[in-house]
């Protein structure tokens, strides 16, 4: 059965000098409004014991725009400023529901530069996107088409640390489930191989960060030598950011290709419910685990299986998938299984196992048992 979802399509664009200047001012105003509202919210609660709502902050924004000290807020569209107040309200709702930490102030150098425009602050006609207070459409590189007849509800413009400009269009899209394949697969995430399947297939781990490690170290060393606050330091920081962006882009592209193929070919997929955050505390493996991006892999599998009518089966993180013999009728469990042991022979039934294939087979069996 088809379902309608909200999906963001992200594109790169190359703004004119006028557009870049306006967007930089908008980013600065968004950050200013966020920080000013957060400071006032915090002060109001500490001094007066009062909670604050979005309506309160919207009234503050109106007053700030009339104040001589912050009248520069009138130079940009009011909509992104309202949107950042709405985002702050969501952040506080998550904090009070104990789903997140207390909202933090935004830094000029470290925080993400972005601004969100609702549909009353942009026009989208004939494949051209024009933002409020701009005279020309954004020069977007449409590397893939939007769904036919799609009308963006919000548009988010951002600039990453490498200086690249992106625009993300949120649209409603109808997705039809893929045909039922009847196939099921167990997936074991690893470091030697990105994933090993219960079918015996092993998908290589490209190790993108390791490939660029020497180049990254050289750029970071050059950055450390630059005087703080200098233009040369800013340029060196951007060179480091470009290397990080290249690593992240290649990693994400590979993960998309792997997860899309797995979802297309299999009706049910079983994976371990790993706590990657805790695993990163192992400093000898943290860098390799981060490079493998297991959390991103799982996230992609979750939303893609939801979109295309597939089933994602989560197996308990404490399940001894590597230690348990996967041979039918044998339930032997080894007491220890060091990471350097890549294959082993079951002392009960004599079956020789590849460690990762055995784990994937056990994960599949455990996942199907919990359906």
pLDDT at 363 over 80: yes
- Each residue's pLDDT tens digit, 10-44: 999 999 999 999 999 999 999 999 999 999 999 99
- Each residue's pLDDT tens digit, 228-248: 989 999 999 999 999 999 999
**Residue spans of beta strands (DSSP E) within 47-176:** 113-118, 122-125, 128-131, 140-141, 154-159, 165-175
| CA proximity to 219, closest of 256, 192, 246, 195 | 246
Residues belonging to the active site: 188, 272, 356
Residue 172, φ and ψ in degrees, nearest 5: -95, 135
pLDDT at 370 over 90: no
Token pair, residue 265, equals 């070919």
Q: CA-to-CA distance for 361 and 324, rounded, in angstroms?
A: 10
Q: How many other C-beta atoms lie within 10 A of the C-beta of residue 155?
A: 22
| CA proximity to 27, closest of 84, 68, 65 | 84
Q: CA-to-CA distance for 103 and 42, rounded, in angstroms?
A: 10
Q: CA-to-CA distance for 192 and 169, rounded, in angstroms?
A: 37
Q: What is the pTM of this model?
A: 0.89
| Helices vs. strands in the chain: H and E counts, helices first | 10, 14
Q: CA-to-CA distance for 245 and 194, rounded, in angstroms?
A: 20
Q: CA-to-CA distance for 165 and 155, rounded, in angstroms?
A: 13
pLDDT at 371 over 80: no
DSSP SS3 for 76: coil
pLDDT of residue 285: 86
Confidence class for position 1, pLDDT limits 50, 70, 90: confident
**Residue spans of beta strands (DSSP E) within the chain:** 3-13, 113-118, 122-125, 128-131, 140-141, 154-159, 165-175, 184-189, 193-197, 202-204, 268-272, 311-315, 343-345, 352-354
Confidence class for position 66, pLDDT limits 50, 70, 90: very high
pLDDT at 281 over 80: yes
- Which residues lie below 8 Å from residue 45, measured CB to CB, with a gap of 6+? 51, 52
The rounded percent of the chain whose pLDDT value lies above 90 is 87
Helix (H) or strand (E) holding 37: helix 17-48
Mean pLDDT, rounded, for 214-238: 95
Q: CA-to-CA distance for 371 and 367, rounded, in angstroms?
A: 7
Q: CA-to-CA distance for 173 and 153, rounded, in angstroms?
A: 12
| CA proximity to 286, closest of 271, 275, 276, 297 | 276
Please give the C-alpha separations between residue 258 and each of 300, 305, 333, in angstroms, as whole numbers.
10, 13, 31
- Each residue's pLDDT tens digit, 287-340: 888 999 999 999 999 999 999 999 999 999 899 999 999 998 898 999 898 888
- Each residue's pLDDT tens digit, 117-150: 999 999 999 889 999 999 999 999 999 999 988 8
- Each residue's pLDDT tens digit, 89-112: 999 999 999 999 999 999 988 889
Residue 10, φ and ψ in degrees, nearest 5: -110, 135
- Radius of gyration of the chain from Cα atoms? 25
Stated length of the chain = 371
Strand partners, 342: none
Sorted by where each begins, the domain ranges of the chain are: 3-175
pLDDT of residue 310: 96
- Each residue's pLDDT tens digit, 161-186: 999 999 999 999 999 999 999 999 99
Please give the C-alpha separations between residue 369 and each of 65, 270, 279, 304, 314, in angstroms, as whole numbers.
61, 11, 26, 22, 11
DSSP SS3 for 105: coil
pLDDT of residue 2: 84
Confidence class for position 343, pLDDT limits 50, 70, 90: very high
Q: CA-to-CA distance for 20 and 2, rounded, in angstroms?
A: 40
pLDDT at 366 over 80: yes
């Amino acid at each position: 059965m088809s379902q309608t979802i909200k999906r963001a399509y992200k594109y790169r664009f190359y703004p004119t000098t006028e557009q870049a200047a306006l967007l930089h001012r908008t980013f600065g105003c968004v950050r200013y409004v966020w920080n000013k509202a957060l400071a006032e919210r915090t002060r109001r609660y500490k001094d007066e014991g009062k909670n604050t709502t979005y309506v309160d902050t919207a009234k503050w924004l109106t007053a700030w725009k009339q104040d001589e000290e912050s009248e520069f807020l009138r130079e940009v569209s009011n909509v992104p400023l309202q949107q950042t107040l709405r985002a702050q309200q969501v952040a506080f709702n998550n904090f009070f529901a104990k789903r997140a930490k207390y909202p933090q102030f935004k830094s000029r150098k470290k925080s993400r530069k972005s601004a969100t425009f609702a549909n009353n602050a942009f026009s989208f006609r004939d494949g051209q996107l024009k933002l409020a207070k701009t005279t020309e459409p954004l020069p977007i590189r449409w590397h893939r088409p939007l769904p036919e007849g799609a009308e963006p509800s919000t548009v988010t413009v951002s600039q990453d640390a490498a200086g690249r400009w992106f625009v993300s269009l949120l649209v409603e899209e109808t997705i039809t489930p893929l045909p039922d394949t009847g196939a099921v697969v167990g997936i074991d995430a690893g470091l030697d191989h990105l994933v090993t399947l219960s079918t015996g297939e092993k998908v290589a781990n490209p190790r993108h960060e390791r490939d660029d490690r020497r180049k990254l170290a050289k750029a970071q060393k050059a950055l450390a030598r630059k005087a703080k606050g200098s233009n040369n330091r800013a340029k060196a920081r951007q060179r480091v950011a470009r290397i990080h962006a290249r690593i992240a882009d290649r990693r994400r592209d590979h993960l998309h290709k792997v997860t899309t193929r797995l979802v297309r070919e299999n009706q049910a997929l079983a994976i371990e419910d790993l706590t990657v955050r805790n695993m990163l505390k192992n400093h000898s493996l943290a860098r390799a685990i981060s490079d493998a991006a297991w959390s991103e892999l799982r996230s992609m599998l979750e939303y893609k299986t939801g979109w295309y009518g597939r089933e994602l089966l989560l197996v308990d993180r404490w399940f001894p998938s590597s230690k348990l013999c996967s041979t039918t009728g044998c339930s032997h469990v080894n007491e220890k299984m060091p990471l350097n042991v890549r294959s082993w022979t079951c002392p009960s039934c004599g079956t020789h196992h590849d460690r990762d294939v055995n784990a994937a087979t056990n994960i599949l069996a455990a996942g199907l048992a919990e359906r």
